[in-house]
Amino acid sequence: MPQTTPRKLGPVLATMFVTGNMVGSGLFLLPATLGALGGISVFTWILATTGALVIAGVFARLGVIAPWAGGPYAYARATLGRYVGFQTNYIYWISCWVGNVGIALAVTGYLTELVPALKPPLISAAATSAVIWIMVGANIVGPRIVGTIEAMAMVVGLAPILAIGIFGWFYFDPAVFEASWNVSGQPAYLAVPRSLILVFWAFTGLESAAVAVEVVENPKRNLPIAALAGVALAAVIYVVSCTVLMGIVPAKALAESSAPFAIVAREIFGPGAATVLIFTTILKASGTHGGWTLVSAATAKAAAEDGAFPGLFAKVDRRGIPVRSLIAHGVLMTIAAFATASPTIGQQFGKLIDMAVVYSLISYLYSSIALIRLRKAGEPGAVRDWALAGIAGVFSVWVIAASDRQLLLIAFALAVTSVPLYPFYKGRADTTPVVVGQEA
């Protein structure tokens, strides 16, 4: 049979793909998480948005200079050596599918608001697994299907949130916002940096177009558009929607809620609106989960093609879809879904998300270094790119350093496991171009 090529993502769908990968469970859960901090979190949003735009700028430049499949892995491999590339892919890959399990868990969590019978741990895990396999199936059909689902979910899923972001300001009470300004009891210079890792979960995924560059049409033009426009659109949605809640619902009530937007929807539009919002939230988070499934598979595929991952992840069908890799990811995520099924699922969810952010930031740091090493002195725009990469690198290190110490130890311990695994792949075929440095 003749080989067919699936249609690729243009600038609009690529932007929706990036934005959709960011605007998911974070939008619907972060207001409750940040309720423990208060209205002062607006400064956290400003810092996180600035940092995300700078990091997106790094990926935009890398997409033009070196449009290689695999994103952070390919950049680290080419400029910092084979082991660093392997480690980058290893930890980034873990962050992708572990964080994606968290998104699937969020879908189930919202679903239990409509179907309380799903709350028992094993039933909840089964429902989460169903979400996982539905989106694995969508990715097997083709990447354009996932991009279309994300675009549709963006409209349907965000419509009620945007309605709250617009009409909610008519119910905004400055007294409520002021009373909940800083409820953490910490001075601002400590409270804001320590909450950055929570807020930055909202922006993980900004590199999605770079990772899945093979499914982006004309990447040298469209990847920078998708990276920067995707972050900017996500930031507007996050800041406007989350800030208005702080002036309607007291911080304590937000912190105790599992569906903070539903509280406001009920107050503004009535109880029926809260139900509709929960349903659309489920749809939006499901779309985000599908996008991250594609990113996870693309990351593993790029590394497997270079011999830095098992060959299973590189095999594709006649349409170029890594079916076996997608199925393998479905199995891994299903195992994780059942492994986290316990009465402390909320705490485990938080740890999974924090771990995913730390590992994502490490990969962003390596990508920033890669941009510096790819630009030679005297080249047009080299100084600008060095400055951009330097700011992105410093920001990444700052957020990592401000995170929980115990989390850092766990993240470090897991990253160290890449050392004994590396020799199994060191001698395999390697096709990634080595731009700077020696073979490791």
Contact call for residues 439 and 81 (beta carbons, < 8 A):
yes
Is residue 418 a part of any domain in this protein?
A: yes
pLDDT in tens, 300-349: 887 787 777 777 788 877 777 888 888 988 998 898 888 766 654 455 56
Model pLDDT, residue 366: 93
Q: How many CB atoms sit inside 10 A of residue 353's CB?
A: 27
* Alpha-carbon span 345 to 51, nearest angstrom: 30
- Cβ–Cβ under 8 Å, residues 224 and 16: no
pLDDT digits (tens, 9 = 90+) for 55-74: 988 988 887 888 777 678 78
Measure CA of the first residue to CA of the last residue in the chain; give whole Å: 42
pLDDT at 368: 95
* Averaged pLDDT, 217-227: 75
The phi-psi region of residue 142 (left if phi > 0; otherwise alpha if psi is between -120 and 50; otherwise beta) is left
Which residues span the domain enclosing 216? 11-426
Asked whether residue 60 is assigned to any structural domain, the reply reads yes
What are the structure tokens assigned to 266, written together? 């009920």
Q: In the chain, pLDDT over 90 holds for what percent of residues?
A: 9
**Contact of 106 with 26, CB cutoff 8 Å:** no
CATH value at residue 107: 1.20.1740.10
Report whether pLDDT(184) > 80.
no
Distances in Å between the Cα of 374 and the Cα atoms of 61, 86, 209, 268, 367 are 11, 19, 20, 53, 10
User: What are the percentages of helix, strand and coil residues in the chain, rounded to 5?
Assistant: 80, 0, 20
What pLDDT band is residue 405 in, cutting at 50, 70 and 90? confident
CB 169 within 8 A of CB 244: yes
Residue 5 lies in a domain: no
The answer to whether residue 1 sits within a structural domain is no
Q: What does each C-alpha distance from 211 to 25, 90, 134 come to in angstroms?
A: 21, 14, 22
Look at the chain and report how many structural domains it folds into: 1
Radius of gyration of the chain (CA): 21
Give the Cα-Cα-Cα angle 412, 199, 276 (nearest 5 degrees): 125
User: Residue 439: pLDDT band by 50, 70, 90 thresholds?
Assistant: very low
- Average pLDDT, stretch 359-376? 91
Q: Considering the domain boundaries, does residue 439 fall inside one?
A: no
How buried is 288 (Cβ within 10 angstroms: 0-12 exposed, 13-18 middle, 19+ buried)? buried
Residue 435 lies in a domain: no
Q: What is residue 431's predicted lDDT score, i.e. its pLDDT?
A: 54
- Averaged pLDDT for residues 210-219: 66
Whether 273 maps to a domain, the answer reads yes
Q: Which two tokens stand for residue 357?
A: 């952010």
69: nearest Cα among 375, 231, 305: 305
Residue 372 lies in a domain: yes
- How far apart CA 27 and CA 179 sit, in angstroms, is 23
Per-residue pLDDT tens over the stretch 131-158:
999 888 888 887 677 777 767 766 777 7
